[in-house]
Amino acid sequence: MAFFSIKKKSLILCMLASGLSAYAQNQDSLKTTSPPQEESNVKYPQLQIKGLFQARYLVGMSKDVDVNGVHHTDGSGTDNNFMLKYMRVQVRAQISKRTEVVVLANLADFKNDPKSRVLENAYLKYTFNPKLAITVGQFRPWFGIEETYPIDIIKSLDWSNQYTEFGKLGWTSFQIGMSATGQLQLGEIPFQYAVSVVNGNGKNQINDNDNGKQYSTRLVFGLSKKYHFNVGLNGGTGEVFSKKVYALGIDLSSLIEFDPKWSLDMQLEAKQATNHVLYNSIAPELRPDNPDQYLIRGAYFLPNLRYEINHKNLSAFELSCRYEYLDTNFRMASNPRQTITPMFGLEFLKNYGARIQLGVQFDRYKHQVENTSQYNNNLFIVQVQSRF
């Protein structure tokens, strides 16, 4: 145990020395278009406020299944709903040339128990140079494509099912810890890397729930500048309640621009990890010694076709159709979920400043379980959003 403790501290020190990928939540929205200024003439702090409003209307189209996908044999449950998904406010304070502090809150989460919600980002980032930046606080560690952009420019209805599940496992979504960034050139190949260490028990927690930490790394190789083709490799290891856990992933992304108006954006991602949350929910006397008997595996493919209209009242339209496969316990009790989500979107202001999306989410399980969310369902969605 002493050796393992020394090893963990060494990993943290190496991480600080070598650099990792900086947190990319809302990177696009945080860029400034103001002309460069002489450092001596810049006054700090510089404040920037951004926001996002996103609301939905949902209609369940499957008998006895509510809008949350839960089956009710007694016919209860709500099959249509107006929903406020996000009312985000972000404040970015540039307090020096190299230091920024970012706070992001989702005020819509007050509708739930706000104790472990509402506050999403709360971090300090110090940038030494393009090769190294350190982020400390609550942020989204990079462990796949979806961590590299915010919810307001997502190409489908929501995050993928595997992103949500890996967030519960501490690898994605908002976590508390430390990360770092690097952008380099490997000959002709652009290269980014990220290494993170986090508590792994989610956002807004007073303390870590055990002595273990989760370490993850993401490597991204830009293999084609013309087609914006990137390959990402993700790996993680850690300890949860004195048990070793791991996670692996690979992703491919590409943007093909046919002409100035038509483009095709494609994402393909696959991951596998120890499902330690499920493992620890089993009574101790019934658990196997090895938590890797409980494994989660998922993949998704998301193509998105975009046409730039550039009319005064309509900027663009998009067509996407995401296919997902997810099995949260494929070794012990396999029941894979397949989800298909075709979406049509109209963009009224550039950079998703205002848009409307319409779509249907089709969920299919290998085995349906009554009175649970593991039940086939179809959901119609109308979603509106505005960035400001």
Contact 143, 328 (CB under 8 A): no
- Tell me: pLDDT of 23 over 70: no
Segment 171-223, tens digit of pLDDT: 999 999 999 989 999 989 999 999 999 999 999 999 998 999 999 999 999 99
d(CA 347, CA 356): 7
Segment 210-265, tens digit of pLDDT: 999 999 999 999 999 889 999 999 999 999 999 999 999 999 999 999 999 999 99
Residue 374 corresponds to which amino acid? Answer: Q
19 is a domain residue? no
Q: Give the range among 168-177, 308-317, 333-342 with minimum mean pLDDT.
A: 308-317
250 is a domain residue? yes
Q: The domain containing residue 276 runs over which residues?
A: 46-387
295 is a domain residue? yes
pLDDT of residue 312: 84
Contact 130, 183 (CB under 8 A): yes
Domain of residue 84, CATH code: 2.40.160.10
- Tell me: pLDDT of 310 over 90: no
66 is a domain residue? yes
**Sorting pLDDT into bands at 50, 70 and 90, what band is 364?**
very high
pLDDT of residue 95: 95
Q: Give the range among 1-15, 65-79, 324-338 with minimum mean pLDDT.
A: 1-15
187 is a domain residue? yes
Number of domains in the chain: 1
> DSSP letters of 276-289?
HHHHHHS-GGGS-S
pLDDT of residue 42: 84
Segment 27-83, tens digit of pLDDT: 333 333 444 555 568 889 999 999 999 999 999 999 999 999 999 999 888 999 999
Of the candidates 226, 123, 124, 142, the one whose C-alpha atom is nearest the C-alpha of residue 182 is 142
143 is a domain residue? yes
pLDDT of residue 240: 95
How far out from the chain centre does Cα 28 lie?
15
Query: What is the overall mean pLDDT for the chain?
Result: 89
11 is a domain residue? no
Could you count the other beta carbons within 10 Å of the beta carbon of residue 3? 7
- Tell me: pLDDT of 26 over 80: no
Q: Which residue in the block uniquely carries the two structure tokens 């596998």?
A: 272
DSSP H helix total and E strand total for the chain? 4, 16
Segment 84-97, tens digit of pLDDT: 999 999 999 999 99
5 is a domain residue? no
Beta strands 295-308 and 337-349 are unpaired
